[in-house]
Structure 1
Amino acid sequence: MSDVVTSKPDVHDMVVVHRTFRQSCAELPDLVRGLRPGDTARAALVVDAVRFMLVGLEAHHVSEDEYLWPLLTARTGVRAEAVARMEEQHHRLEELVTEVRSALDELTADPRPPLADQVADQLTELASVLTAHMDEEENTILPLAAEHLSVAEWEDLGEISLAKLDKKYLLRAFSALMAVATPEEQRTLLTKAPAPARLLWRLSGRRTHARREARLRAGHGG
């Protein structure tokens, strides 16, 4: 099969996905650090937000590890070092995800300051590594993907990523994307989404996401 790409994929949708992670990176460390001893209800809400971010991050990165990096490595020649660097960053992020996740059950049951500070520090480090990774990915990898992948291959990457995500998170993930998207980006996302997803987002996803986010922010710093 020829590797000639006759039409370029719209890789901007990954920038929107990254935007959801950037928002979480900016907010979650402070939310965790702000937990009060004994407030297990608040801890459960914040920990749920952390778990959701970690689940989405893993699905996103595993799809790149299994599908995107092999394709780009085979097609970019001397620029394969950029892909190798992405893989190394993924390994470090996996380590940080494991560190954070190992403390979440205990944090939910007992949100005491030393533990909350520990998890917040871990999330801050994760945010630093992830932000640098996403910056480089957007500046280096996405242009390579647009140049070397077909539209169908790029769409396959999205399908693989969704398949890695637990079905119970699908509407929540789509609603999070729509919440950070511009009106133009929303229109593009809606054209790509299956009809059931569009309907569920309009019926309940948009409002459920807004209520969840309002609860997270209302309980912070009060």
Structure 2
Amino acid sequence: MPNLVGITVNHRSMRGDARRFAALLRDVADGRTANTPARAKAIAGYLETLCDGIHHHHQAEDDVLWPVLEASAGAEVDLRELTEDHRQLDPLLDAIRRDARALAVTPGDRDAAERLAGALGVLRDMLDEHIEDEERTLFPVIHRYVSDADWNKVEAAVRKGGKMGFELPRIERYATPAELAELKRMAGPVLRVLLAATRRGFARREAVIFSA
């Protein structure tokens, strides 16, 4: 049956990033964390890439996974609510990008930080609800009906267009040791090489954003 460890970690990384940035921006808006120009610029860059990645993920689901499920499972799957969730996400992602850019221009603007914190809180809650629903309803259907060949097409579509320097280090952050070992087994030595090549730059940006 299809191996869902990759999409599971991807889902967890989106939810985890939304949660920790919502908390960080709440601290900035409430004055508990100083928002230096360097931090504000790094936050804007990270959130831009995160929003692009979330959009790419659900677009790949709409364009590739949904047709695979409809062809494989037919009446066993109802995608209407999940599709509507995707439609609601895009305007929110646009608002987060816009508010993050505005905060980078005026890092000390607490009102701008408040707007961004609010949008990230909405994103956190939407992703939690949507992904829990998707995994609960679709993962059993994928296991039962989707072939390995079709699932490989879905995973290829999700990987295509992704920013590896951003996506790969987040695997180490959010995967369990067992999941990371499984991903390395599936990908072979190339994953170890790519993780080593991207780890340091990612850690530097993390330090700018989340250091005290």
Same fold? TM cut 0.5: yes
Q: How far is 1:139 from its partner?
A: 0.8
* Correspondence for 1:84 among 80, 96, 112: 80
C-alpha separation between the residues in 2 aligned to 1:23 and 1:90? 18
**Unaligned runs of at least 5 residues, structure 2:** none
C-alpha separation between the residues in 1 aligned to 2:36 and 2:207? 18
The equivalent residue for 1:19 is: 12
**SS of the residue 1:164 aligns to:** coil
Structure 1 contact 11–154 (Cα < 8 Å) conserved: no
Do residues 28 (structure 1) and 28 (structure 2) align? no
1:70-149 alignment to 2 at 5 Å? 70-81=67-78, 83-111=79-107, 112-149=109-146
The equivalent residue for 1:154 is: 151
Over the aligned positions, Cα root-mean-square deviation in angstroms equals 2.0
Residues 164 and 62 of structure 1: CA distance in aligned 2, closer, same or farther (over 3 Å): farther
The equivalent residue for 1:5 is: none
Structure 2 contact 77–141 (Cα < 8 Å) conserved: no
Name the aligned partner's letter for residue 152 of structure 2: E
Structure 1 contact 38–110 (Cα < 8 Å) conserved: no
% identity of equivalent residues: 27
C-alpha separation between the residues in 2 aligned to 1:84 and 1:194? 37
The equivalent residue for 2:211 is: 218
Q: How far is 1:17 from its partner?
A: 0.9
**SS of the residue 1:9 aligns to:** coil
Q: How far is 1:118 from its partner?
A: 0.6
Q: How far is 1:194 from its partner?
A: 6.1
**SS of the residue 1:73 aligns to:** helix
Residues 97 and 38 of structure 1: CA distance in aligned 2, closer, same or farther (over 3 Å): closer
Q: How far is 1:205 from its partner?
A: 2.3
Residues 206 and 73 of structure 1: CA distance in aligned 2, closer, same or farther (over 3 Å): same
Structure 2 contact 9–174 (Cα < 8 Å) conserved: yes
**Unaligned runs of at least 5 residues, structure 1:** 1-7
C-alpha separation between the residues in 1 aligned to 2:188 and 2:80? 34
What whole-Å deviation, never above 9, does each CA across 1:74-104 have from its counterpart, x for those lacking one? Answer: 33233332x1111011111112112212222
* Correspondence for 1:59 among 56, 63, 80: 56
**Equivalences, count:** 207
